Structures are given as structure tokens and as C-alpha cells.
Amino acid sequence: MKITILGSGSAYGVPMIFNQWRNANPENPKNIRTRACVLIEENDKSVLIDAGPDLRQQINSFNIKDVDALLLTHGHYDHIGGVPELPRASTLLGHGIDVWASEETMSELKISYGYLFRGEEPEGVGIHWKTLPDLGKFECCGLNFETYRVPHHHLHSSAFRLGDFAYMTDWEDISEDGINVLRGVKCLLVECNNGLYYEKNGHSNLDKVKEIAVKIGDPRIVLTHLSARVDYDELAKFVPEHWLPAYDGMVLDM
């Protein structure tokens, strides 16, 4: 399995609009972050997790040739801003794209992009909407995923495990169900939006990630969805030896 981190940034990317870098050192290219997005390639299938507003740029700059399915974590703009690209993507690929979302996320999508659900988009026939369970197993492109939900602001995010890899973004807490799904995983890609800082903003920081790492068996951990508060080198100094902050283009071979 090959995991490519197409985007490692938080809601506003780094630099933010008007070239604002906050704590991130502009001299380090690892601090240039597009919105969070992950590509999983396994058994000749390509599954994207989230489609934010940088999707077109990410697909083009990493020269990705195919996408079979999209898993959506939740309905915030930085995770669904690229969903309207999919009807044309499906036409250009010449095949359908399965789009998985929980009932809650599907409601958010219908509010944001009503026209995609009313049959007004002629190319929309290639999009196959699928309902994600809130907890448990599901099969996507012949791959056996497990999912659970985590609280995040007023919403919930769906998190995913596929074999020895798991991805959990936009979370502020985790239930025992979530810990049970993650237990024994070998690599966890996890949101650490606030880095070394504490902020009550629906996101996590390094201390919170450390708490769950102990409970799930101390896997390799990669920290993503990093805000402009986070400087790559500064965060890297404070993580255990088998952990790393993510950067755009980082590849994890499993």
C-alpha cells in the first residue's frame, strides 16, 4: 500500500491568504501546505480521502492519473471544497467515482452543493453517493476499511483504518470505540492542527496525540493538518524518534 499526503495543511493552508505565515518559517518548503488530502493506492485502486479547495492543483501537481473513490471525513470547506470538481473528473476518467460520506456529512453536502443532488449537473451521473457507517467495516473498491467517528466542533469526522494504516483528522476527542479500531495499527496519520499549543478550537495538539499513542500500542505517527502556528522544524524537535510531521508530497510505504 502506498500513501501519498497530497495536502498537510489546516483549514486556511500555509501560507494563508495575503501570504501570512504566522509561526511557519517561509524559508522551509515543508512549511508550504495545501489543504489536508490523502491518496491511498492499493491493488491497482486509488482512493482519495477528502477533496478540499486545493484538489485540482494537488491532482495536477502530483500527476495523479486515476481516482476510483473518495472518502469524506466531514463537511467543512477545507475537506469538501473540491467535491464540485468530481462530475468533470468522472467524465474525463470515463468511469464513475464512488463518494462515501456519513449521513451527517451528506446533509452538509446537500446544503453546500444542492445542485449536485438535484440532477442539474449533466456530468453528475458519474458520481455514486454511498453512505458511510458511523462505526464498523465497509468495503470500498474491494478494500476492507473500518471507520469510526470523532467529535469536531459541532460536527463529527469519520476516521478510517485500512490494514496497518489509519487516518484521523479534525478531532478533539476520541471514544473507546475509536481506540479499539486503532489498537495495533502500525502507522497513524493524525491531525495535530495546533502543534505545541493548546487552543479550544475543535482540533488537537501534540499532547492529545501522545495520550492516544500510548493507548493504541505506540505506532509510527505522522502529524498532519498543521496550521500556520506550526513550524515544521520546531514541531519535529518535540516528537519521539519514530514520529514525523507531515509535508505535502510525503509518501508512506506500508
Footprint of Zn ion (CB under 5 A): 11, 76, 78, 170
Instruction: Identify which of residues 10 and 46 has a Cβ nearer to Zn ion in the complex.
Output: 10
Instruction: Identify which of residues 4 and 193 has a Cβ nearer to Zn ion in the complex.
Output: 193
Q: Which residues, 6 or more positions from 119, have their beta carbon under 8 angstroms from its beta carbon? A: none
- Left if phi > 0, otherwise alpha if psi is -120 to 50, otherwise beta: which for 2? beta
Shortest reach from residue 170's CB to Zn ion, in Å: 4
Shortest reach from residue 232's CB to Zn ion, in Å: 18
Among 44, 131, 145, 51, which Cα is nearest to 90's? 51
Q: What are phi and psi of 73, to 5 degrees?
A: -85, -45
Instruction: Identify which of residues 16 and 141 has a Cβ nearer to Zn ion in the complex.
Output: 16
Q: What are phi and psi of 59, to 5 degrees?
A: -60, -40
Give dist(CA 253, CA 109) in Å, integer. Answer: 32
What residue is closest to Zn ion based on CB? 76
Shortest reach from residue 208's CB to Zn ion, in Å: 15
C-alpha cell of residue 9: 495543511
User: Which amino acid is located at 144 in the chain?
Assistant: N
Shortest reach from residue 123's CB to Zn ion, in Å: 27
**3 state DSSP class of 224:** strand
Shortest reach from residue 124's CB to Zn ion, in Å: 25
Instruction: Identify which of residues 68 and 170 has a Cβ nearer to Zn ion in the complex.
Output: 170
Instruction: Identify which of residues 170 and 248 has a Cβ nearer to Zn ion in the complex.
Output: 170
Q: What are the beta bridge partners of residue 195?
A: none
Shortest reach from residue 9's CB to Zn ion, in Å: 9
Q: How far apart are the first and last CA of the chain?
A: 5
Shortest reach from residue 162's CB to Zn ion, in Å: 20
Instruction: Identify which of residues 83 and 87 has a Cβ nearer to Zn ion in the complex.
Output: 83
Instruction: Identify which of residues 76 and 161 has a Cβ nearer to Zn ion in the complex.
Output: 76
Could you list the beta-strand ranges (E) of the chain: 2-7, 37-42, 45-49, 69-71, 97-101, 127-131, 136-140, 143-152, 155-162, 165-168, 187-191, 220-224, 243-245, 251-253
